[in-house]
Amino acid sequence: MNKAIILKSRPKGTPQLSDFKSIEEKMPQVMQGEVLLKTLFVSVDPYLRGRMSDAESYVPPFELNKPVSSGIVAEVVESKNDNFKKGDFVSNLLEWKEYQVSTGEGLQKLDPSLQPLSVYLGIVGMTGMTAYMGLTKIGKPKAGETIVVSGAAGAVGSVVGQIGKILGCRVIGIAGSDDKVEMLKSKFGFDEAINYNTTKDMNKAIAEAAPNGVDIYFDNVGGSISDAVHRNINQFARVIICGAISLYNATELPMGPRVEGLLIKKSALMQGFIVSDFSDKFAEGAQQLGQWLQEGKLTYEETVVEGFDSIPEAFIGLFTGKNTGKMIVKV
Amino acid sequence: MNKAIILKSRPKGTPQLSDFKSIEEKMPQVMQGEVLLKTLFVSVDPYLRGRMSDAESYVPPFELNKPVSSGIVAEVVESKNDNFKKGDFVSNLLEWKEYQVSTGEGLQKLDPSLQPLSVYLGIVGMTGMTAYMGLTKIGKPKAGETIVVSGAAGAVGSVVGQIGKILGCRVIGIAGSDDKVEMLKSKFGFDEAINYNTTKDMNKAIAEAAPNGVDIYFDNVGGSISDAVHRNINQFARVIICGAISLYNATELPMGPRVEGLLIKKSALMQGFIVSDFSDKFAEGAQQLGQWLQEGKLTYEETVVEGFDSIPEAFIGLFTGKNTGKMIVKV
């Protein structure tokens, strides 16, 4: 029998284990032109929370009682498609199933000799691409500028900070534990890092860490942490809105200080994006990220949870900061 | 004796007449190299409210007990400067005085045969330039797109709408009276206009006026009107923050719905600006605005208040929508 994890109910507020259900189904049959894929690594990402609601969004919501899907690395275990052979490793947006068939469309072949397979879900995958596109295409950093990154110890944030350093900027990270703060400085080369859980006056802490003000704010979290960063932005600042994890589970419309006055006063820009807005620049991004990784200029961190049945728990853990770097489930 | 209007106290909330004082002083002496200017027309603008506070901003605050300054058209009544002769008309940022001396620096000579002198404070001055720069350089409108303008019957808003029409867009204005709404459609060519004072459900009214959604929002007001527009923006929308007149007199930090989630969902941009951000493009703007005006593609409206002593009253009237189009004081 094959296993799948379906969305049983649309989460209200923070997702609960009871919103998901593990089901068994018959093993799929492989038709001519198809391949059978065995799931090896599953990426769990904050943005999936949006697709679990039925509110209008840039991507359609997940259907109830159907498997959830996310970025997955799989092995071809049977092939009736000339483009793939048994033993190939591939990745794509796939369903939370132990086994599934694919026509091959959209499957990207992976080379396990270049880097561990899970990394294709992270720094050289959509995670790294998201960091690269947001920072370079919207933020347009200039050497000597100051970048603040929230959710800095997360999958995207830790790459943003490293790219900022490569480009000659001062980089300040905001994260939620002393361990993460320490790692941002020692492993990822951030100039300063702030633990928002133990800092009383975030406004002042950011002002001290950024004595020349904040030119670029790469925002993964939204909410009150962002309010404190906004108070420290410079003229012509760029605020890149990549995520708002602090708001995803809100059950009412989140309120906060209006930003219009600030944006005028500072002639500042705020721009939201998703990585696919820049799909015409993916080739450039992949080339640049791969080069930096091979030159040893980029490093990464993974939090690996074991077992197919742990996928919902790993996903839910994102909202309480259980992960450092990319959260991966190894099946 | 000469008259001047000074800032007596920093306004708390909405400016009051008692925040200003008319004083008399000796007529200034004209030294070699200087000219004596007689004030003819005074521009009063919402942005002056910001300079009356002592909060940090992009321009230094007005000093207490010193004259306020704004855009002024004046006549040269005495000249000891070879570049100017008696009878010349000039404009610049000048003080609220009946007479003042100038070294000539920054004075722009005006041709009264091209258009009425007051227009140099409006559509072919900083007002028109503000509309042009914000809409074309940040909004980047494409023919067929839908533009919503708040404060549409104001000096900047009425020009934004007309430029939008020239560029082939559908233009919807928001204003505060039936007369203004009528004028937006009949005089300025807006496709639709909404009276926010008599419309219960702004969200619905905007949705109906913009059946294809809102691609560009040129925001002069901020606050709850803007919240309703935001709910109707399209993917890749551009929100141009030019003014926030509904917030300028706030005595506490104004709160509202957080925009991060929306900006991500729509891959949308919000950008604040002041006209001087685009000073390198003023020549282009002046040429284009002048051409459209001469071709009869642009028209304008002025609210003219008479008398030097009426300047504070005219300024305060901006915040209750007393003006249609550009608010001017004729001395």
For residue B252, CA distances in Å to A258, A277, B12, B13, B255 come to: 11, 37, 10, 9, 9
- Cβ-Cβ contacts under 8 Å, A265 against chain B: 50, 56-58, 272
> Nearest residue of B to residue A249 by CA position?
B261
What's the CA gap between A266 and B92, in Å, rounded? 24
Q: How wide is the angle at C-alpha A228 spanned by C-alphas A227 and A233, nearest 5°?
A: 95
What's the CA gap between A91 and A125, in Å, rounded? 9
Q: How wide is the angle at C-alpha A188 spanned by C-alphas A182 and A191, nearest 5°?
A: 70
Interface test with A, best of B156, B258, B270, B277 (most A CBs within 10 A): B258
A252 to chain B, any CB pair closer than 8 A? The answer is no
What mean pLDDT do residues B122-151 have? 96
Residue keyed to tokens 């209200």: A12
What's the one-letter identity of residue A112? Answer: P
**CB–CB of A260 and B267 under 8 A?**
no
Which pLDDT score is estimated for B57? 59
B118: DSSP letter: G
In the 3-class helix/strand/coil scheme, how is A94-146 assigned residue by residue?
Answer: EECECEEEECCCCCEEECCCCCCHHHHHCCCCHHHHHHHHHHHHHHCCCCCCE
Q: Say if residues B102 and B94 touch (Cβ distance below 8 Å).
A: yes
Helices (H), B190-310: 202-209, 223-230, 260-265, 282-294
Q: Which two tokens stand for residue B89?
A: 């008309």
Closest C-alpha among A217, A220, A221, A222 to residue A255: A222
Q: Which two tokens stand for residue B130?
A: 């503000």
What's the CA gap between A27 and A17, in Å, rounded? 25
Say yes or no to pLDDT of B265 above 70.
yes
Q: What is the ipTM of this complex?
A: 0.86
B271 to chain A, any CB pair closer than 8 A? The answer is yes
Q: Say if residues A228 and A206 touch (Cβ distance below 8 Å).
A: yes
- Cα Rg for chain A, rounded, in angstroms? 20
What is chain A's mean pLDDT, rounded? 94
Residues of chain A with pLDDT under 50: none
How many percent of chain B have pLDDT more than 90? 84
Q: Which two tokens stand for residue B316?
A: 């305060």
Q: Say if residues B168 and B144 touch (Cβ distance below 8 Å).
A: yes
B279 to chain A, any CB pair closer than 8 A? The answer is no
Which pLDDT score is estimated for B245? 84
What's the CA gap between A271 and A238, in Å, rounded? 8
| Separation in Å, CA of A35 to nearest CA in chain B | 34
CB pairs under 8 A between A and B: 123
Q: Which two tokens stand for residue B310?
A: 């009426």
Residue ranges of A 14-53 with Cβ closer than 8 A to chain B: 50
**CB–CB of B262 and A277 under 8 A?**
no
Closest C-alpha among B17, B41, B96, B39 to residue B313: B17
- Cβ-Cβ contacts under 8 Å, B272 against chain A: 260, 262-269
The pLDDT-based confidence of B230 (bands split at 50, 70, 90) is very high
- Cβ-Cβ contacts under 8 Å, A259 against chain B: 259, 270
Lowest mean pLDDT among A208-217, B46-55, B302-311: B46-55
pTM: 0.88
| pLDDT tens per residue across span B86-97 | 999 999 999 999
- Cβ-Cβ contacts under 8 Å, B248 against chain A: 261
Closest residue to A247, CB basis, from B219, B235, B261: B261
Closest C-alpha among A97, A56, A123, A79 to residue A331: A97
Which pLDDT score is estimated for A274? 92
| Separation in Å, CA of B235 to nearest CA in chain A | 8
B265: DSSP letter: H
Which pLDDT score is estimated for A148? 98
What's the one-letter identity of residue B149? Answer: V
| pLDDT tens per residue across span B96-116 | 999 999 999 989 899 998 889
What's the CA gap between B222 and B239, in Å, rounded? 11
Where residue B170 falls (left for φ over 0; alpha for ψ -120 to 50; beta otherwise) is beta
Q: Say if residues B69 and B311 touch (Cβ distance below 8 Å).
A: no
Which pLDDT score is estimated for A324? 86
Q: Give the residues across from B24 on adjacent strands.
A: B3
Residue keyed to tokens 């080069």: A291
Residue ranges of A 210-249 with Cβ closer than 8 A to chain B: 219, 222-223, 226, 235-236, 241-244, 247-248
Closest residue to B272, CB basis, from A226, A264, A274: A264
Using DSSP, state whether B64 is helix, strand or coil: coil
For residue B323, CA distances in Å to B11, B106, B156, B253 come to: 21, 28, 12, 27
Closest C-alpha among A104, A95, A87 to residue A25: A95
The pLDDT-based confidence of B59 (bands split at 50, 70, 90) is low
Say yes or no to pLDDT of B177 above 90.
yes
Return phi, psi of residue B277, to 5°: -60, -25
What's the CA gap between A320 and A246, in Å, rounded? 10
- Cβ-Cβ contacts under 8 Å, A235 against chain B: 58
Say yes or no to pLDDT of B289 above 70.
yes
Say yes or no to pLDDT of B56 above 80.
no
Mode of pairing for the β-strands spanning B108-110 and B302-306: unpaired
- Cβ-Cβ contacts under 8 Å, A272 against chain B: 260, 262-269
**CB–CB of B270 and A259 under 8 A?**
yes
Give Cα A99 to chain centroid, integer Å: 24
Which pLDDT score is estimated for A114? 83
- Cβ-Cβ contacts under 8 Å, B130 against chain A: none
Lowest mean pLDDT among B38-47, B156-165, B245-254: B245-254
Return phi, psi of residue B13, to 5°: 70, -140
Residue ranges of B 50-79 with Cβ closer than 8 A to chain A: 50, 56-58
Residue A80's CB is within 10 A of a number of other CB atoms, namely: 14
State the first-to-last Cα distance of chain A, in angstroms, to the nearest integer. 16
